[in-house]
């Protein structure tokens, strides 16, 4: 393999740049040329492809976002779009790809490989940590720290005013972000999609705590919880306990940005190196991940269809710690 391409796709995540840097420098270390494909599959189709050298990735290890930008591409979902993408890669003599993104990204890569034979190795780049095949995804640790920092600030007000705050954190269909935020933020209650917890239980818990003279509360709500988002939950609670001074904060998009944490930079660097070395060694249709501190390549098929379960022990922790 003499020339590879790298791109980011799907929602941006802190550490994507650190991963791009690792991909570029590892390729160069192995004597392989490397090109950056802008805006994911969209730029691949349009031929927005640029040569990267070692200075292209200088001073980006600490930057949030992605220098290669990201976009969704409807066109790549069509055969015609993928044909155009393939033609662009052929024009640029690109023989293999490193795709930094999530399951949508890997699904596209699998289809592309099936039709055109271009091998791709994936890197798990998403704040949601919902990918099978790696303990942590790139961006997850940073997102949790950002959310927790916001929660620490909110607690200042909650304490000062004896209020209840319903704080909504990201995480799509999982409680991966919500749970460490609840444990680390000293929350009384956490609502996550993985576990049914009725509003009635929430109300009961709050009423019991109020009887014990507890006056300020923190309730963390994962955006995908089935009882609804933080506003819906807060309204139901306020209906049941009208004397409670309850507020809602949606932490939102700040969770996607900012300088990556140390753990995310390390993970992104490990995976970036592994992705290139995987390609060099003939791998395809696999995602590089770290499981129990060891490098593991998992077939895209598994990352897409297998579910990474959340540690059930964490739910018990919230209960014990809010005693």
Among 153, 301, 306, 307, binds a copy of itself (CB under 8 A): 153
Q: From CA 232, how far away is CA 49, in angstroms rounded?
A: 45
Is residue 71 a contact point for a copy of itself (CB under 8 A)? yes
Is residue 156 a contact point for a copy of itself (CB under 8 A)? yes
Residue 253 counted as an annotated binding residue: yes
Q: Are β-strands 96-101 and 3-8 bridged in parallel, bridged antiparallel, or unpaired?
A: parallel
Question: Site residues for a copy of itself, window 263-302 (CB under 8 A)?
Answer: 263, 265-266, 269-270, 273, 292-293
Q: Choose one: 87-95, 118-126, 154-162, 199-207; the region binding a copy of itself (CB under 8 A).
A: 154-162
Is residue 137 a contact point for a copy of itself (CB under 8 A)? no
Question: Site residues for a copy of itself, window 7-26 (CB under 8 A)?
Answer: 8, 11-12, 14, 16, 18, 21-22, 25-26
Complex with a copy of itself: residue 110 or 181, whichever CB lies closer: 181
Largest Cα–Cα separation, the chain: 71
Complex with a copy of itself: residue 285 or 298, whichever CB lies closer: 298
292 is catalytic: no
Q: Choose one: 91-99, 110-118, 229-237, 252-260; the region binding a copy of itself (CB under 8 A).
A: 252-260
* Alpha-carbon distances, residue 127 vs 65, 136, 168, 178 (angstroms): 12, 9, 15, 12
| 186 φψ region: left (φ > 0), alpha (ψ -120 to 50), beta (else) | left
Q: What is the DSSP string of 253-277?
A: GGGG-SSPPHHHHHHHHHHHHHHHH
Is residue 37 a contact point for a copy of itself (CB under 8 A)? no
Residues 6+ apart with CB under 8 A from 150: 167, 249, 251, 254
Q: From CA 188, how far away is CA 212, in angstroms rounded?
A: 13
Q: From CA 190, how far away is CA 178, in angstroms rounded?
A: 7
Among 2, 50, 51, 54, binds a copy of itself (CB under 8 A): 54
Q: How many residues bind a copy of itself (CB under 8 A)?
A: 79
Q: From CA 127, how far away is CA 142, in angstroms rounded?
A: 8
Among 5, 43, 64, 171, binds a copy of itself (CB under 8 A): 64
Question: Site residues for a copy of itself, window 161-190 (CB under 8 A)?
Answer: 161-162, 165, 180-181, 183-186
Is residue 92 a contact point for a copy of itself (CB under 8 A)? no
Set 12, 128, 130, 225: catalytic member: 128
Is residue 249 a contact point for a copy of itself (CB under 8 A)? yes
Q: Choose one: 75-83, 153-161, 192-200, 226-234; the region binding a copy of itself (CB under 8 A).
A: 153-161
Q: Long-range contact list for 292-300, CB < 8 A, 24+ apart?
A: 292/135, 295/270, 296/133, 296/134, 297/121, 298/132, 298/133, 298/134, 300/106, 300/107, 300/109, 300/110, 300/122
Contact 6, 97 (CB under 8 A): yes
Complex with a copy of itself: residue 68 or 202, whichever CB lies closer: 68
Q: Which strand (E) or helix (H) includes residue 124?
A: strand 120-124
Residue 293 counted as an annotated binding residue: no
Is residue 3 a contact point for a copy of itself (CB under 8 A)? no
Binding site as annotated, residues for ATP: 11, 72-73, 102-105
Active site residues: 128
Binding site as annotated, residues for substrate: 126-128, 163, 170-172, 223, 247, 253-256
């Amino acid at each position: 393999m003499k020339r590879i391409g790298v791109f980011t796709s799907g929602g941006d995540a802190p550490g994507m740049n650190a991963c791009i840097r690792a991909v570029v420098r590892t390729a160069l270390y192995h004597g392989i040329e490397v090109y950056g494909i802008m805006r994911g599959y969209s730029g691949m189709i349009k031929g927005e492809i640029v040569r990267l050298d070692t200075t292209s990735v200088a001073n980006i290890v600490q930057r949030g976002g992605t220098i290669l930008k990201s976009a969704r591409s409807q066109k790549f979902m069509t055969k015609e779009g993928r044909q155009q993408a393939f033609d662009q890669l052929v024009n640029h003599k690109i023989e293999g790809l490193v795709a930094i993104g999530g399951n949508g990204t890997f699904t596209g890569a699998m289809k592309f490989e099936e039709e055109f034979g271009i091998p791709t190795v994936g890197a798990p780049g998403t704040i949601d940590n919902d990918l099978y095949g790696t303990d942590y995804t790139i961006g997850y640790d940073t997102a949790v720290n950002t959310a927790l920092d916001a929660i620490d600030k909110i607690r200042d007000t909650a304490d000062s005013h004896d209020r209840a705050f319903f704080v909504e954190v990201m995480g799509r269909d999982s409680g991966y972000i919500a749970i460490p935020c609840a444990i680390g933020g000293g929350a009384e209650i956490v609502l996550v999609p993985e576990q049914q917890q009725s509003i009635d239980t929430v109300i009961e818990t709050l009423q019991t705590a109020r009887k014990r003279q507890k006056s300020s509360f923190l309730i963390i709500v994962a955006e995908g919880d089935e009882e609804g988002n933080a506003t819906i939950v807060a309204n139901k609670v306020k209906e049941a306990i009208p004397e409670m001074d309850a507020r809602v904060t949606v932490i939102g998009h700040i969770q996607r940005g900012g300088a990556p944490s140390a753990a995310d930079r390390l993970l992104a660097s490990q995976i970036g190196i592994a992705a290139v070395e995987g390609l060099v060694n003939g791998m395809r249709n696999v995602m590089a991940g770290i499981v129990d501190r060891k490098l593991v390549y998992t077939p895209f098929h598994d990352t897409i269809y297998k579910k990474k379960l959340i540690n059930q022990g964490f739910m018990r922790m919230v209960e014990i710690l809010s005693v």
